[in-house]
Amino acid sequence: MVALNKDESRAFATNIRSDSISVLDLQNQSRVKNIATFSMPEAIGYRASAHEIWYGANKEGRLVVINPDSEQEIAQWQGFGFPYRVLFNHDESVAMVPDFQNHYIRFFDANNKKELGTLALEEGAGPQGITLHPKHDIAFLSLNLKNKIVAIDIHTREVIAEFPTGTNPDGVIFISR
């Protein structure tokens, strides 16, 4: 997975097999450095308002927040089966992390680094891809094992709509017309 900083001059790429995050200079097309991580990093999000990287480490079932410059750990949560993706709402005050193995999505106060709650999805849902509505704090989450996408009100942490898909939806994007 890849995340971009605010001015799109840097990219942060998780390296799932080498347990690291590469910091890339997009102007010079070069790698600045690799940051050591917990095992099997995959999910990644860049929080521009605080210059933070949020990543999921699959093997240990952790969500970790770091400063990409100092590499200092800022916060960490455990208990995930498979922290599949990281998504922030529009003002970056809420982080959402779907857990493919535990069939829920966890919500975090990104400013205060506190867990807000969990939205349990239907049994065997297999949540995977997640994206944000371009104008509203509504997340669209694919339920891979249920062949549908659900719309979630981020502030109430409730499913507000469901959309049937083909077999095993994964990646999700939202395009306004």
Evaluate if residue 174 carries a pLDDT over 80. no
Evaluate if residue 176 carries a pLDDT over 80. no
Q: How confident is the model at residue 150 (pLDDT cuts 50, 70, 90)?
A: very high
pTM: 0.95
* Mean pLDDT of the 130-144 span: 97
Q: How confident is the model at residue 134 (pLDDT cuts 50, 70, 90)?
A: very high
pLDDT value at residue 70: 98
pLDDT value at residue 175: 78
Q: What is the pLDDT of residues 69-124, one digit of tens each?
A: 999 999 999 999 999 999 999 999 999 999 999 999 999 999 999 999 999 999 99
* Mean pLDDT of the 138-150 span: 98
* Arithmetic mean of pLDDT over the chain: 97
The proportion of the chain whose per-residue pLDDT surpasses 90, expressed as a percent, equals: 95
In this structure, which topology does domain 1-83 adopt according to CATH? Lipocalin (2.40.128)
Structure-block tokens of residue 165: 């898909």
Q: What is the pLDDT of residues 33-57, one digit of tens each?
A: 999 999 999 999 999 999 999 999 9
